[in-house]
Amino acid sequence: MNERLTVGEFSRFCGVTVKTLRYYERMKLLVPSETDEWTHYRFYTISQMQQLNALLHLKEMGFSIEEVRELQDEGTNQPSMKQLEGKITQTENLLDALHERLVLLKRMADMRSKIEAMDKISIQHLPEMVVASHRHMLRRREEFLAVCASVMGPEVQRLRCRRSMPLNWFVVEHDKEVKKENIDIEIFEEVEDLMPDTPILKFRVLPEVQTAVCMKCRGIFEHLPQQYKELQDYMKEHGFEASGPRRIKLVEYLWNQNDPEKWLSIIQVPVTRDKRPRLTRKLLFRS
C-alpha cells in the first residue's frame, strides 16, 4: 500500500471530510507530512491515521481544540487523570443542565398544548402557587409592562428570586367594575420560594382554586370590556358566581408577540355554583 495519501484518499480512509482536514491543518493540529513543491499537492502518511483518531477521540470526550493543542505541545495525546476528572465533572454538570432544559421544554410544550386545545371558555382548576406581587395604580392597562420592567423586574433581580419556568405572569384587577383608566392592579409572578416582603414586593402562597371559569382572549386590552361581558353572560347562563378577584394570565404579549391583535391572554374567574333557585321560562308562566 502506498505510504503517501492525498487529502482525498486520507479523508476516505479515515471517514472524515476534506473540510475537516483543512480545518485541522489551519489549526496546526494535523498538518500534512509533505507538500509537493511543483503541484502543491499535500500528502498524509498512514501513521498519521493514529494521530487523527486520537484527535477525534479527544474531541468526542469533550476536549476543546485549545486543550488538544496543549496536549500535543506536551508531546502526548493522553490526558492526565486530573484532566479526565475535570471532564467528568464538566460532563455531569452538562447532563444536569440538559435535564433541566428537558424539563423546561416539556413544561412549555405541555402548557402550549393545553392552551391550544382549550375551548374559548372552559372550566379549570388553578393550582396553588408561590408568588411575588406588586400593587400599582395604572392610568391605563398598557402601562403594565413598563411597571414590570422598571419597578418589579429590578426588585426580583435584586432579591435573586428563583423564577418559575416557564415564566408565569398574571394580573389581578381589584376594581369591582371594568375600568379603562385609573385601574387598581396587582401584578403577580410565580416564583420558587417564599421570601421576606419588601416595600416593592409582597410574597405569599396563593391557595388553589377548585373551579375557575376561563376564557381565551385575543387582541389589545381595549377589547377586555366586551370580553368580560361575554364571560359574565356565560357565568350567569350556567349558574356560576364569582368567588374571588378575576385574573388575567398573559401568555403572548410584547415580550414574544409584536402584533397587538395577536396578543393572547386568559381571563380566570374563581367561581362557585349559584345555589339560588333559577326561574326558567316554564316556571315563570306556570299559574
Compute the distance between CA of residue 234 and CA of residue 237 in angstroms, rounded to an integer.
5
* Measured torsion, CA atoms of residues 261, 262, 263, 268, in degrees rounded to the nearest 10: 100
Lowest-confidence segment of 49-53, 166-170, 228-232 by average pLDDT: 166-170
Compute the distance between CA of residue 30 and CA of residue 51 in angstroms, rounded to an integer.
8
The 8-class DSSP code of residue 79 comes to -
Give the mean model confidence (pLDDT) for residues 201-222.
90
pLDDT over threshold 50, residue 287: no
H helices then E strands: how many in the chain?
A: 9, 12
Report pLDDT for 285: 41
Report pLDDT for 2: 55
- One-character DSSP codes across 234-286: HHHHTTEEE-S--EEEEEESTTT---GGG-EEEEEEEEEE--SPPPPHHHHT-
Give the mean model confidence (pLDDT) for residues 75-79.
86
pLDDT over threshold 80, residue 222: no
Task: State what percent of residues in the chain have pLDDT above 70.
Answer: 94
Which pLDDT tens digit goes with each residue over 228-276? 889 999 999 999 999 988 898 988 877 778 888 888 889 999 999 866 5
Whole-Å CA distances, 191 to 76, 98, 128, 144: 50, 21, 12, 19
Give the mean model confidence (pLDDT) for residues 118-143.
90
Give the mean model confidence (pLDDT) for residues 11-17.
91
**Grid coordinates given for 112:** 402550549
- Bridge partner residues of 171 (DSSP): 187, 248
Q: What b-and-e string marks burial along 18-48, b requiring 16 or more CB atoms within 10 Å of the CB?
A: eeebeebeeeebbebeeeeeeeeebbbeeeb
**Grid coordinates given for 92:** 455531569
Q: When comparing pLDDT for 189 and 36, which is higher?
A: 189
Identify whether the C-beta of residue 246 lies closer than 8 Å to the C-beta of residue 267.
yes
The 8-class DSSP code of residue 172 comes to E
pLDDT over threshold 80, residue 196: yes
* Measured torsion, CA atoms of residues 8, 10, 12, 13, in degrees rounded to the nearest 10: 160
Mean pLDDT score of the chain: 87
Whole-Å CA distances, 161 to 90, 105, 140, 153, 170: 26, 21, 28, 10, 17
Report pLDDT for 257: 80
pLDDT over threshold 60, residue 4: yes
**Grid coordinates given for 104:** 423546561
Provide the whole-model pTM. 0.66
Kindly report whether the peptide bond that precedes residue 166 is cis, defined as omega within 30 degrees of 0.
Answer: yes
Report pLDDT for 277: 52
Lowest-confidence segment of 149-158, 198-207, 251-260 by average pLDDT: 251-260
Which pLDDT tens digit goes with each residue over 99-120? 999 998 898 888 888 888 888 9
DSSP SS3 for 20: helix
